[in-house]
Amino acid sequence: MMALSGSQIILNAFLGGTVVAATAGVVGYFLVLRAHAFAGEAFTDIGFAGATGAALVGVPALAGMVVFSLLAAAGLGALGKRIRGRDIEVGMVLSFALGLGVLFLSIYSHESATHALSGVGILFGSTFSIDANDILTALASCTLAVGIVVITFRPLLFSSIDPDSAETRGVPTRALSVVFLVVLALTTAACVLVVGVLLVASLLIAPAAAASNVSKRPGRSIGLSVATGVGITWSGLLLTFVGTVRHLPVGFYISALAAITYAASLAARRIRRAPRAAEPVHLDRETVHGTQ
């Protein structure tokens, strides 16, 4: 274990995992609050096509994911409210994007055994192949995403909790929706580094949903979401290094811990709220005043 701790591979895994998990905790809170879990799934499907297409032409997979996800964010944002009730059309587009990703992956994997392993990493994460360039790219994407959230925090929070009231008070809800989709696109692309396309929800949704079950105060919930995401990621990495009965993939440990954490938060919420009615989401006067 001491030898592992000095390895650059291990250090890169922890650095990349921490950056991505912390960002997912912040962005995931708003994703859960806005009930946009479907949007998160959409970006994983579209990002998968971007990652495999980029790998096929010799471009870093993360860069391809970011580009495709940003284009998808612009498209979804342009539809605005018209996207409601068009689940079939959107679902067909996502299915096509997923099929396109499978095509790119198949072509890429047949070129060599190394490419096949890279394709598996896109699907299930490649935490132990993260290099300095990946960390820098992820850090840039995550810094931009968190920076946008910080700048737009109050109006974004207000429009997420009560969009109708926010629009009445002059908050640009449609513009904020587009901005949030861009933030979500950047974060989703970065998450693939750690858990892959298929398990993004483990970092993006589960920690935030668990934190929301424990606390309804935005600041506290975001802090808990970040701490939970980072804790789950570190625990998954440590379990992979130490091993249990067998050395299992880090993606499995992260997704399993995320599911257990969310289930525990549900149980805690039910116990806490058994004798009283559910509390509304707390939005203090100072926060509301800042959006006017």
Complete domains list, the chain, with CATH:
2-291 (1.10.3470.10)
At 289 the pLDDT is 53
At 210 the pLDDT is 92
Tokens of 237: 């990495």
Please give the Cα distance from 271 to 281 (Å, whole number): 18
At 224 the pLDDT is 94
pLDDT digits (tens, 9 = 90+) for 134-161: 788 888 889 999 999 999 999 999 988 8
Please give the Cα distance from 156 to 163 (Å, whole number): 9
pLDDT digits (tens, 9 = 90+) for 51-101: 778 777 777 777 777 787 777 777 666 655 555 545 565 666 677 777 887
At 160 the pLDDT is 86
For the chain, 292 residues long, give each residue's pLDDT as a single digit of tens: 444 445 777 888 888 889 989 999 999 999 888 877 666 667 777 777 887 787 777 777 777 777 877 777 776 666 555 555 455 656 666 777 778 877 877 777 676 555 555 556 666 666 767 777 778 888 888 999 999 999 999 999 998 888 888 888 888 888 888 888 888 888 887 777 667 766 777 888 899 999 988 888 888 999 999 999 999 999 988 888 776 556 677 878 888 899 999 999 988 888 877 655 555 555 555 555 555 5
At 22 the pLDDT is 93
Please give the Cα distance from 206 to 219 (Å, whole number): 17
Put simply, whether the predicted model's pTM sits higher than 0.85 gets the answer no
Please give the Cα distance from 49 to 110 (Å, whole number): 17
Please give the Cα distance from 292 to 288 (Å, whole number): 7
Please give the Cα distance from 69 to 105 (Å, whole number): 18
Q: Is 194 exposed, middle or buried (0-12, 13-18, 19+ CB in 10 A)?
A: buried
At 268 the pLDDT is 84
Amino acid of residue 256? A
